[in-house]
Amino acid sequence: MSCLKTRDLLHGYVDGELDLVKSLEIEEHLKECHDCAGGYQAIRTMRSAVGDTAVRFEPPPNFEGRLRSALRRESEPNARALIIRWRWIVAAVSLIVALTVTWAVAALLTRQSAHDVLAQEIVSSHVRSLMANHLTDVVSSDRHTVKPWFDGKLDFSPPVKDLSQQGFSLSGGRLDYIGNRPVAALVYQRGQHAINLFVWPSSAAPAESEKASVRQGYNLIGWTNAGMTYCAVSDLNLAELQQFAQLLQ
């Protein structure tokens, strides 16, 4: 191999990048040629000088830490977006729950007040019937007189019981208007106390508050039975009124 060719390939030889045949040829040439061998030595010297660890630059000791946090920060916007998205979901769910609760409470309050209105109507009706001396339209202690009287006046036939044996004497009945509908009012007498028993068809169970309550000094007891809603109201004491209610149930 010529010196010229050797000088071209010498770097590839030093770097171990030549094929075996060329490497051997150069090896042979370096044994014979002093100049080329000197060049080879010069490259090796320079290589080790440049490759010395003191020549390269090392990153500052805290650089890796800073780089790590920069990388974490870079991936953070997505994490932040995720948190924001979660916050929105939580907020939306909270709002829905709050609205549902509000609606439920409002509905409950409205329902209670509807019952309140009904109870108030019943008491008012009771009081009015006593004041205007219009307790009864049909005066009879005989349930076979009272019950047929309602025929044709109502779209239902109220059950009428005779409780005179138990001390509640039937004194008659009348038509009344409660809760936006005509109802039957049966009037019983217990000593000096008049009892108004309102009856209308309804499947709805009376609210808890309706079962037994006191309004303006009057006791009210409500119940449902066989598709009818009953509400007894009187100035009679609660125990006796409850006895009356139980006899009817």
Partner 1 sequence: MSDQSKVIRFEEIALPHLRAAYNLARWLVHNEHDAEDIVQESYLRALKHFSGYYGGDARAWLLTIVRNTCYTWLQKNRLLRQAEPIEDKLDELGTDFLDPEVLLLQHLDSQTVRNALQELPVEFREVVVLREMEALSYKEIANVVDIPIGTVMSRLKRGRERLHKLLASYMGKEASVELSENA
- Under rule CB under 8 A, residue 66 binds partner 1: yes
For partner 1, which residue of 79, 97, 98, 107 counts as binding (CB under 8 A)?
79
Helix/strand/coil for 200: strand
* Residues 153/174, Cβ–Cβ less than 8 Å: no
Q: How many CA atoms lie within 13 A of 197 on its CB side?
A: 30
For partner 1, the closer of residues 70 and 226 by Cβ is 70
Strands, E, within the chain: which ranges? 138-139, 169-178, 181-190, 193-201, 212-215, 218-225, 228-234
Tell the smallest beta-carbon distance from residue 33 to partner 1 (Å). Answer: 12
Asked if residue 55 binds partner 1 (CB under 8 A), the reply is yes
Smallest gap from residue 8 Cβ to partner 1 (A): 6
Rounded least distance, CB 61 to partner 1, Å: 12
| Stretch binding partner 1 (CB under 8 A), from 38-46, 120-128, 143-151, 220-228 | 38-46
Among 32, 52, 151, 155, binds partner 1 (CB under 8 A): 52
Q: How far is the CB of 10 from partner 1 (least distance, A)?
A: 8
Q: Is residue 17 part of the contact set for partner 1 (CB under 8 A)?
A: yes
Contact 200, 156 (CB under 8 A): yes
- Which CA distances in Å does 199 have to 68, 78, 157, 170, 185? 82, 68, 9, 15, 6
Size of the site for partner 1 (CB under 8 A): 40
CA 234/CA 218 separation, integer angstroms: 6
Tokens standing for residue 210: 């309706």
Query: By C-beta, is 54 or 226 nearer to partner 1?
Result: 54
- Per CB under 8 A, 64 contacts partner 1: yes
Distance of alpha carbon 208 from alpha carbon 151, whole angstroms: 32
- What residues make contact with partner 1 under the rule CB under 8 A? 4, 7-8, 10-12, 15, 17, 35, 38-39, 41-43, 45-47, 49-52, 54-60, 63-64, 66-68, 70-72, 74-75, 78-79
